[in-house]
Structure 1
Amino acid sequence: MLFNTLLILHITAGFTALVTAFVAIFSKLINVAHQWHLYSGRIYFWAMFVIFVTSIPMSILHPNLFLFLISIFSFYYALTGWRLAKNRRGTPQLIDWTTASIMSFTSIVMILYGSYMLISHTNGIILLVFGVLGSSSGYRDFKRLRAGGVRGQARIAEHLSGMMGATIATITAFLNNNVTFHPEVVVWLGPTLVISPLIVWWNRQLRQGRRVKGAETPVLQS
């Protein structure tokens, strides 16, 4: 009964996150009233939060370390992107150090468990790839925090990277649950391979001061 209730909440939050992610992205790209981006981004974050808090007990009730690690990995990007939107001054706070620490530790577990999984299942490749991405992001976070945080266009670019990283996770989850394709690794890693170059390009545009349809990212009130 508990698992089914959590599953319903999880699926509802997943659908909400998928819809609001696209609203947030396209409202920014077509430069409509910025409130659309603000409100949809806020709903998206809290939907990702619900996904995270439901997936943890679900992965314990039906033991699944793979999904447990993926849940932490996915929410990390949403939380990082949200924090960069809220913290306009860029001053590092305890939650930022904690988030970077948890992701760094989780990425190590992902790499180790992914290597073990390769003995019997190709899904180990998924954890290895995500583990490497997570460790790289964690390292970049620590580097940014030790430097005193980021501001201006760099903050907006980092916000974009975090939220788009979370969006990739949202799209991946949707495809994994609704598309049957073998090998499974294609569905798991496809969105990352397709969308990551866009994130890199958009990030560079922002860092170089080239505003991409909507310059500022206002503070996201909780």
Structure 2
Amino acid sequence: MQSLFSLFLNLHIIGGFTALLVFWVPIVTKKGGKVHRTAGWVYVAGMGTVSITALYMGIYRIITSDELGIVSFSWFLIFISILSGATAFYGIRVLKYKKRTAMHRNLLDLSFPLLLILSGIAIGIYGWMIQSPLITWFPLVGIFLGSTQLIYWLRKPVKKMHWWFEHLAGMLGCCIATITAFMVFGAPRLLNIETVNVFLWFLPTIFLTPVIIGYSVYYAKKFKVR
């Protein structure tokens, strides 16, 4: 079991660093171009690896450890895996159904936002019980993103280029999960820091949310969307 955990850990590190290296490329390159698409799929592959391996490692640590610190961060790791996986999946699926004209009732597409909302509520309550500010408040990001995804699927599209804006929000939401996970787990270990200010954990959300809004406003004007 330990050797399997080590394998998943190595895959997690490779996938995480791959995502961190390429996540900015689709943001700054021509949308829909070859570089944008190629880098986007590399990023999705990296985040898919991160999500699956994080889920396994979180469950493994919860089963094999009785230390509160390890268990609590394992639950947070599981939530990050759900957040990153759900947002990346959403960003891809909105492109697949960009021509839809009615409510979307695909069970697979609805289940991911629901899982994100429910897991966010559960992890937030758990964080409040153990008095962890990070685990209490950060899941609100997942609850918000899951709610907006669910509303999008259950509503009839009325806005021009609706899928464009949802793809943008989904993939940048996934970037929030990517950078947050690095700030919480990767950076402290690389720099040999035991504790990190809670504000730094929320910094990716604080920074990237205006980016999402800014891009949305820019493309709304470009496409002349009301």
TM-score range, shorter chain: 0.7 to 0.9
1:72 lines up with 2:82 in the alignment: yes
TM-score by length of 1: 0.82
User: What does residue 9 of structure 1 align with?
Assistant: 11
Aligned counterparts of 1:95 and 1:152: Cα–Cα separation in 2: 25
Which segments of 5 or more consecutive residues in structure 2 lack a partner in the other structure? 63-73
Question: Tell me, what secondary structure is at the counterpart of 1:62?
Answer: helix
Report the count of equivalent residues. Answer: 202
Aligned counterparts of 2:119 and 2:181: Cα–Cα separation in 1: 19
Deviation string 1:79-109 (CA, Å, 9 cap, x unpaired) is 1112122322246222211111111211111
Deviation string 1:159-196 (CA, Å, 9 cap, x unpaired) is 11110111122122233312448543122111111221
Bigger RCO of structures 1 and 2 (CA < 8 A, at least 6 apart): 1
Q: How does 1:1-222 map to 2 (within 5 A)?
A: 1-28=3-30, 34-63=33-62, 64-90=74-100, 92=104, 93-118=106-131, 124-149=132-157, 152-176=160-184, 177-179=186-188, 180=193, 182-206=195-219, 208-210=220-222
Q: Which amino acid aligns with 2:163?
A: R
| Pair 109,22 (structure 1): closer, same or farther in 2 beyond 3 Å | same
Aligned counterparts of 1:108 and 1:149: Cα–Cα separation in 2: 28
Which segments of 5 or more consecutive residues in structure 1 lack a partner in the other structure? 119-123, 212-222
TM-score by length of 2: 0.80
Aligned counterparts of 1:23 and 1:168: Cα–Cα separation in 2: 15
Deviation string 1:18-44 (CA, Å, 9 cap, x unpaired) is 12212211213xx7x811001111111
Identity percentage over the alignment?
29
- Alignment RMSD, CA only? 2.1
